[in-house]
């Protein structure tokens, strides 16, 4: 058997490699690194090829492909969303992703992205909160204590200087799990019995629940002036977390309007309801928070460029860490026209 | 380090595995097996989720994602097309693909598809020729002797009973390579100096060239009555191989009209030029060849369902052959809500 050439071998970051990378770098430095790459790509937002994700819906959930390109590098993520998976002991969301060279179309990185998606979603939330949350915000209500809750919390600590988190979940076991995981990370962690209790004193309200239906995690009378809402869980048609009245009182910031209007909280609003694109806040072209009384709302659905940034960050960590292995993914005959000959010679 | 669970491990078929599988099964039996799976999926064409491929175009080429689903299984292929790659010693087309369970969104198979795409493209061409070529067709002109030419030829032998192939390429070295590779496969192989010579006595004309521009591989006066044209190479906007006059004399059969009108030979025709969908010929709902004098034309661009069929065939070969290895692609914590805890415990 002839050995494949270097071009045929694609660096692959497994789940095991990803976990080792997080420990090698440290989770907070890695969240900061990811946020820096994401912010850099938001600053050059206009040059990206932006396509709404390609979704295949079924009764049980959705499978999506999220491609983008900056003209030199192409990236895409495969991701599913199946709310009922948890009851069967499976992840609601699993993902993997890829980078390729636009010039020749050859993949240059394949990676697990279940963990990396949780990391980039948290890094994005915190990078946005850095721009929109009120000055001095140091307390967050974390409503929904599932798989993303610890990542969200640590990103807010690493990037926004969060000191306290107030946890609430309809399932007290999820809150106990989240509180136990956050112990020893230098935060004041408070487990709360009601969402009303959780939001006491919090300047940042993060909602991250997984029901695939119109839900009302936050009602209008719970949300006071001057807070920043980080709405993570409303991310597909029919799935929202906030009462419409809250949306009407908020200044709403989104990643990519054509996608958010279908998938985000604002699917509850008129299609021409004004929203601000985050990249314009980050470049200074649009205003972010303009008063202490304002409610800012990040209607997060996750966009392909954030995955692209995360894969770009990951790729840049590989040479120094070696935390990958080469995958024999691409056929690469010595003579590119002789694919058949390569197959034939493999018989010997 | 805890070991990942079975659910986290996705069977991966490398290039090496794929080559061994071809030799284990035999290339002609495998082409017949693929054609059977493709034909079976054309028969249930209507139930598939059909999306035009999602293309990212650049000056150098295109990167595409081709998803589909039959409601129980989801599949997609990543494929690039970069005509200039050959000059740099790279494949024009590389690909990989994936199947997933629609019910929970978990991937169940990842495979190289550079070789498998050549196999499925050839199997599709031959399956279509079985339905459309004139009775007793046993001679093919193979115009373009690149990476797909031997696969096309052997599929026509395995599925349609081809006895002779007449080779032509603008580069005589490509023809010599193809002829050498086909030696010993039980075919009469004739190397020709001109395309006019190659089509002498051929009832099947296959064009498979790689130029990304409007080319005229076959001119009108070269094509006589009663032939079947298997047009493979015209497969992206701006890339065609046949003179428009030939199209006007032919009955044209296509995979998925919305895609073929953009990418196929028929991009040269009016958008309402009549075409027949192949699945209707295969189910008997539409006529195929109706006379000995008719020119039938398969305007092949490749559709996601063919890749789905090929991956389905591949998956069914794995239990008996063991020609795969389990890839640690999916994070799968014992408690699905405890992704962070899994990462944290990996430190020890």
Domains of chain A plus CATH, in order, are 6-115+305-345 (3.30.1780.10), 124-302 (3.40.50.720)
The closest CB to that of A103, out of B60, B105, B114, belongs to: B60
- Asked if residue A242 lies in contact with residue A265, where contact means CB atoms within 8 angstroms, the answer is yes
The H-or-E segment that residue B306 falls in is helix B304-321
Smallest CA–CA separation between B182 and chain A, in Å? 9
A55 touches chain B (CB under 8 A): no
Which chain A residues have a beta carbon less than 8 Å from that of B340? 118, 147, 149-151, 181
CB contact residues (below 8 A), chain B span 262-281, against chain A: none
Which chain A residues have a beta carbon less than 8 Å from that of B339? 91, 114-115, 118, 147-148, 151
In this predicted model, what pLDDT tens digit does every residue of B29-84 receive, in sequence order? 999 999 999 999 999 999 999 877 788 999 999 999 999 999 999 999 999 989 88
Q: How many CB atoms lie within 10 A of CB A5?
A: 12
pLDDT of residue A5: 67
B121 touches chain A (CB under 8 A): no
E strand spans, chain B: 9-13, 49-50, 54-57, 62-69, 73-81, 95-101, 107-112, 139-143, 164-168, 188-191, 204-207, 214-218, 228-231, 240-242, 250-254, 276-277, 295-299, 325-328
Size of interface A-B (CB pairs under 8 A): 259
| Mutation site, B5, B7, B15, interface A, largest A CB count within 10 A | B15
Q: How far apart are CA A82 and CA A275, in angstroms?
A: 28
Apex A138 CA angle, A134 and A139, nearest 5: 105
In this predicted model, what pLDDT tens digit does every residue of A198-249 receive, in sequence order? 999 999 999 998 765 667 788 888 899 999 999 997 666 777 889 899 999 9
pLDDT of residue A1: 42
- Between A38 and B81, the more confident residue is A38
- Asked if residue B193 lies in contact with residue B170, where contact means CB atoms within 8 angstroms, the answer is no
Mean pLDDT of chain A: 93
- Asked if residue B79 lies in contact with residue B58, where contact means CB atoms within 8 angstroms, the answer is no
- Residue whose structure tokens are 């709360």: A192
Smallest CA–CA separation between A85 and chain B, in Å? 6
Averaged pLDDT, A291-301 = 95
Please name every residue paired with A140 in a beta bridge, in sequence order, or none if there are none.
A165, A204
Tokens of A181: 């995981």
Does the structure show a pLDDT above 90 at A154? yes
The closest CB to that of B147, out of A27, A82, A337, belongs to: A337
Please name every residue paired with A250 in a beta bridge, in sequence order, or none if there are none.
A295
Q: How far apart are CA A233 and CA A125, in angstroms?
A: 12
Q: How far apart are CA A173 and CA A249, in angstroms?
A: 33
Q: What share of chain A is helix, strand, coil (3-state, %, to 5)?
A: 40, 25, 35
Smallest CA–CA separation between B268 and chain A, in Å? 27
Q: How far apart are CA A78 and CA B100, in angstroms?
A: 10
A326 touches chain B (CB under 8 A): no
Smallest CA–CA separation between B341 and chain A, in Å? 6
Tokens of B185: 């496969």
In this predicted model, what pLDDT tens digit does every residue of B250-293 receive, in sequence order? 999 999 999 899 889 999 999 999 999 999 999 999 999 999 99
Residues 6+ apart with CB under 8 A from B42: B127, B278, B279, B282, B283, B305
Q: How far apart are CA A146 and CA A156, in angstroms?
A: 16
Q: Work out the percent of chain B whose per-residue pLDDT is above 70.
A: 96
pLDDT of residue A290: 96
SS (H, E, C) chain A: CCCCCHHHEEEEECHHHHHHHHHHHCHHHHHHHHHHHHHHHHHCHHHCEECCCEEEECCCCEEEEEEEECCCEEEEEEEEECHHHHHHCCCCCCEEEEEEECCCCCEEEEEECHHHHHHHHHHHHHHHHHHHCCCCCCEEEEECCCCCHHHHHHHHHHHHCCCEEEEECCCHHHHHHHHHHHCCCCCEEEECCCHHHHCCCCCEEEECCCCCCEEEEECHHHCCCCCEEEECCCCECCEEEECHHHHHHEEEEECCHHHHHHHCHHHHCCCCCCCEEHHHHHHCCCCCCCCCCCEEEEECCCCHHHHHHHHHHHHHHHHHHCCCEEEECCCCCCCCCCHHHHHHHCCC
- Asked if residue A312 lies in contact with residue A114, where contact means CB atoms within 8 angstroms, the answer is no
A343 touches chain B (CB under 8 A): yes
Does the structure show a pLDDT above 80 at B142? yes
Apex B263 CA angle, B262 and B265, nearest 5: 105
Mean pLDDT check: name the lowest of A126-130, A270-274, A295-299, B238-242: B238-242
Does the structure show a pLDDT above 60 at A2? no
> Is B96 in contact with A104 (Cβ distance < 8 A)?
no
pLDDT of residue A88: 87
The helix/strand/coil state of A3 is coil
Please name every residue paired with A245 in a beta bridge, in sequence order, or none if there are none.
none
> Is B98 in contact with A90 (Cβ distance < 8 A)?
no
Indicate if the alpha-carbon torsion angle A212, A217, A218, A220 is positive or negative: positive
The H-or-E segment that residue A43 falls in is helix A27-43
Q: How far apart are CA B290 and CA B268, in angstroms?
A: 25
Nearest-Cα residue of chain B relative to residue A85: B104
pLDDT of residue A155: 98
Averaged pLDDT, B208-220 = 76
Q: How far apart are CA B327 and CA B325, in angstroms?
A: 6
pLDDT of residue A7: 75
Smallest CA–CA separation between A284 and chain B, in Å? 29
Mean pLDDT check: name the lowest of A176-185, B1-10, B70-79: B1-10
- Asked if residue A139 lies in contact with residue A228, where contact means CB atoms within 8 angstroms, the answer is no
Averaged pLDDT, A32-37 = 98
B4 touches chain A (CB under 8 A): yes
SS (H, E, C) B232-287: CCCCECCEEEECHHHHHHEEEEECCHHHHHHHCHHHHCCCCCCCEEHHHHHHCCCC
The closest CB to that of A332, out of B91, B105, B106, belongs to: B91
| Mutation site, B323, B337, B344, interface A, largest A CB count within 10 A | B337
Does the structure show a pLDDT above 60 at B2? no
Smallest CA–CA separation between A177 and chain B, in Å? 7
CB contact residues (below 8 A), chain B span 84-103, against chain A: 85-86, 88-92, 94, 96, 98, 100, 102-103
Nearest-Cα residue of chain B relative to residue A113: B330
B61: left (phi over 0), alpha (psi -120 to 50) or beta: left
B60 touches chain A (CB under 8 A): yes
Which chain B residues have a beta carbon less than 8 Å from that of A100? 63, 78, 80
The H-or-E segment that residue A96 falls in is strand A95-101
Active-site residue set of B: 235
Among A231, A316, A294, A302, which Cα is nearest to A268's?
Answer: A231
Q: Work out the percent of chain A whose per-residue pLDDT is above 90.
A: 80
Smallest CA–CA separation between A22 and chain B, in Å? 8
- Asked if residue A208 lies in contact with residue A143, where contact means CB atoms within 8 angstroms, the answer is yes
A347 touches chain B (CB under 8 A): yes
Active-site residue set of A: 235
- Between B145 and B5, the more confident residue is B145
Tokens of A40: 């850099």
Q: How far apart are CA A254 and CA A233, in angstroms?
A: 14
- Asked if residue A189 lies in contact with residue A206, where contact means CB atoms within 8 angstroms, the answer is no
pLDDT of residue A238: 77
| Crossing angle of the two packed helices B15-25 and B304-321, in degrees rounded to 10 | 80
pLDDT of residue B89: 84
Does the structure show a pLDDT above 90 at B209? no
The closest CB to that of B330, out of A94, A331, A341, belongs to: A94
Averaged pLDDT, A16-30 = 97
Among B165, B321, B287, B305, which Cα is nearest to B230's?
Answer: B165
pLDDT of residue A193: 96
Q: Phi and psi of A305, rounded to 5°?
A: -65, -35
Band of pLDDT at residue B1, cut at 50, 70 and 90? very low
Among B81, B133, B162, which Cα is nearest to A103's?
Answer: B81
B144 touches chain A (CB under 8 A): no
Q: How far apart are CA B155 and CA B38, in angstroms?
A: 13
Nearest-Cα residue of chain A relative to residue B98: A78
Q: Phi and psi of B165, rounded to 5°?
A: -130, 135
């Amino acid at each position: 058997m002839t050995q494949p050439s270097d071009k045929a071998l694609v660096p692959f970051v497994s789940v095991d490699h990803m976990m080792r990378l997080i420990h090698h770098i440290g989770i907070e430095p890695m969240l900061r690194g990811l946020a820096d790459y994401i912010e850099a790509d938001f600053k050059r937002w206009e040059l990206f090829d932006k396509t709404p994700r390609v979704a295949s819906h079924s009764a049980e959930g959705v499978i999506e492909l999220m491609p983008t390109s900056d003209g030199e590098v192409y990236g895409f993520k495969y991701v599913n969303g199946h709310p009922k998976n948890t009851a069967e002991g499976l992840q609601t969301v699993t993902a993997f992703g890829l980078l390729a060279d636009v010039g020749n179309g050859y993949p240059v990185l394949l990676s697990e992205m279940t963990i990396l998606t949780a990391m980039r979603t948290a890094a994005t939330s915190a990078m946005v909160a850095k721009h929109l949350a009120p000055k001095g915000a140091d307390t967050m209500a974390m409503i929904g204590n599932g798989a993303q809750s610890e990542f969200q919390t640590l990103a807010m600590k690493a990037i926004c200087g969060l000191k306290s988190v107030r946890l609430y979940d309809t399932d007290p076991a999820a809150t106990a799990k989240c509180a136990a995981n956050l112990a020893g990370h230098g935060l004041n962690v408070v487990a709360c019995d009601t969402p009303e209790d959780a939001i006491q004193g919090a300047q940042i309200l993060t909602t991250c629940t997984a029901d695939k239906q119109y839900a009302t995690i936050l009602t209008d009378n719970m949300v006071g002036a001057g807070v920043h809402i980080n709405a993570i869980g409303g991310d597909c048609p029919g799935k929202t977390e906030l009462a419409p009245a809250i949306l009407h009182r908020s200044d709403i910031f989104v990643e990519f309007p054509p996608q958010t209007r279908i998938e985000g909280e604002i699917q509850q609003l008129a299609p021409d309801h004004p929203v601000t694109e985050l990249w314009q806040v980050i470049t200074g072209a649009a205003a972010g928070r303009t008063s202490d009384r304002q409610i800012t709302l990040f209607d997060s659905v996750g966009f392909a460029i954030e995955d692209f940034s995360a894969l770009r960050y990951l790729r840049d960590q590989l040479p120094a860490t070696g935390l990958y292995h080469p995958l024999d993914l691409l056929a690469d005959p010595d003579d590119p026209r002789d694919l058949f000959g390569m197959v034939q010679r493999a018989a010997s």
